[in-house]
């Protein structure tokens, strides 16, 4: 049995998105208890607390890295299997430029640097500690990586990557950490530094992921948006909302699908159903908004030009 869910007038990025009436989730079947739990959890945190979490987003992620240093996420060795664009297939030795946004401590970028010698990687994160952990990593090669601090919701990427010549942007579990009202401006920010025809490779939490269903009452911030115990936040994407977000920011959808995985905890003998969304978007050849317009946009600052 599939759980049918109603989403009326979902608000994201300042615009009201589609009404998805009784859509059917293609990969996750909820039990009756899970359905009831989601239906009953309607009380949002107070506006004051929600605003505070938004103001302190950077601080909360920086404290996350203070507590966990480089030990929380495992190196991501699956990326070239899932995204063929990342494979080492350059026959003429030409280099590709990749930008990893919200890079954390480098669990995505270091394995990739080893697997594909034809990449130059720009990487950014708004946590100063995460940026420093990347620089301190023994695998950090300044000739192949440039890492900098940047808040994707307020700092213009094009003031840091002035040639706007990026072939591939990777967004691995980062957009879910950003307030839904700011997601479109973040995707537009990325759009400005990509070459026309360049792509975004995306993987993040999907609707009805096990982690979403585990939140106790008192953690809800909005539709499919929750706060964890440590103040970091997580949004759980439906395919529909993700597709609309990127289309609105000037991208074409190449693929956009749910991925279903079982995570097994051998010690506890537990297996939990994870749901992710994985997608590829391509920048259309004609830009809908140029850098000049972005600079006039009061949401954005010029990113600091001094390396951090
Ligand atoms: C779940 S971690 C993912 C890290 C990394 N992409 C990986 O796959 O291991 C999310 C990251 O996004 C960063 N982040 C969240 N909001 C951000 C923002 N507005 N600008 C830049 N980075 C942000 C956090 O500091 C954190 O490092």
Under a CB-based contact definition with an 8 Å cutoff, are residues 155 and 301 in contact? yes
In a domain, 83, yes or no: yes
Q: Is residue 36 part of a domain?
A: no
191 within 8 A of 280, measured Cβ to Cβ: no
C-alpha 32 – ligand 1 centre gap (Å): 34
| 3 state SS of 119 | strand
CA-CA distance, 256 to 64, in Å (whole number)?
30
From 75, 102, 171, mutation site for ligand 1 pocket: most ligand atoms within 8 A of C-beta: 102
Tell me the pTM.
0.86
**Count of domains in the chain?**
1
Give the residue numbers spanning the domain of 84. 57-88+96-204+230-302
Lowest mean pLDDT among 76-85, 97-106, 234-243: 76-85
Q: Which residues line ligand 1 (CB under 6 A)?
A: 61, 73, 76, 102-104, 107-108, 125-127, 130, 150-153, 172-174, 177-178
Mean residue pLDDT of the chain comes to 86
pLDDT 10s digits, 194-252: 999 999 999 999 999 999 999 999 999 999 999 999 999 999 999 999 999 999 999 99
Q: Give the start-end residues of each E strand in the chain.
A: 4-7, 11-12, 15-16, 20-24, 96-101, 119-125, 145-149, 155-156, 166-172, 194-205, 220-222, 225-227, 233-235, 251-265, 270-283, 301-302
Measured by CA distance, the residue closest to atom 9 of ligand 1 is 107
What value does the CA radius of gyration of the chain take, rounded to a whole number of Å? 19
Q: Which is nearest to 259 in space by CA: 234, 244, 242, 279?
A: 279
Residue 187, domain member (yes or no): yes
Q: Is residue 31 part of a domain?
A: no
Characterize the bridge pairing of strands 220-222 and 225-227: antiparallel
pLDDT confidence of residue 266: 78
Q: Are 151 and 102 in contact (CB under 8 A)?
A: no
| Residue 220 resides in a domain | no
- Tokens standing for 142? 């300044």
Pocket test for ligand 1, best of 150, 177, 274 (most atoms within 8 A of CB): 177
CA 128/CA 308 separation, integer angstroms: 8
The answer to whether residue 39 is domain-embedded is no
CATH of residue 82's domain is: 3.40.50.150
- For residue 23, being part of any structural domain is answered with no
Q: What is the token pair recorded at 273?
A: 């159903």
Q: Count the Cβ atoms, other than its own, within 10 Å of residue 23.
A: 16
CA of 174 to the centre of ligand 1 (A): 5
């Amino acid at each position: 049995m599939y759980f049918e869910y109603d989403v009326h007038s979902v608000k994201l990025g300042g615009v009201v998105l589609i009404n998805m009436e009784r859509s059917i989730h293609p990969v996750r079947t909820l039990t009756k208890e899970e359905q009831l739990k989601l239906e009953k959890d309607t009380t949002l945190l107070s506006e004051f607390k929600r605003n505070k979490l938004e103001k302190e987003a950077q601080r909360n992620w920086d404290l996350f890295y203070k507590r966990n240093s480089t030990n929380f996420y495992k190196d991501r060795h699956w990326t070239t299997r899932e995204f063929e664009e990342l494979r080492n297939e350059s026959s003429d030795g030409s280099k590709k430029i990749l930008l990893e946004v919200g890079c954390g401590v480098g669990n995505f970028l270091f394995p990739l640097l080893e697997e594909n010698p034809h990449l130059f990687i720009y990487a950014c994160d708004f946590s100063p500690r995460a940026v420093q952990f990347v620089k301190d990593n023994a695998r950090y090669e300044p000739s192949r990586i440039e890492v900098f601090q940047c808040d994707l919701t307020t700092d213009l990427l094009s003031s840091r990557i002035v040639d706007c010549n990026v072939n591939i942007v990777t967004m691995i579990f980062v957009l879910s950490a950003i307030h839904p009202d700011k997601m479109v401006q973040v995707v537009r920010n990325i759009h400005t530094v990509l070459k026309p025809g360049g792509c975004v490779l995306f993987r993040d939490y999907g609707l009805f992921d096990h982690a979403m269903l585990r939140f106790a009452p008192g953690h809800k911030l909005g539709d499919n948006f929750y706060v964890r115990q440590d103040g970091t936040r997580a949004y759980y994407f439906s395919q529909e909302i993700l597709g609309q977000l990127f289309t609105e920011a000037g991208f074409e959808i190449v693929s956009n699908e749910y991925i279903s995985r079982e995570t097994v905890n051998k010690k506890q003998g537990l297996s939990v159903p994870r749901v992710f969304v994985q997608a590829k978007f391509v920048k259309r050849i004609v830009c809908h908004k140029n850098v000049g317009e972005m600079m006039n946009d009061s949401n954005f600052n010029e990113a600091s030009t001094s390396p951090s």
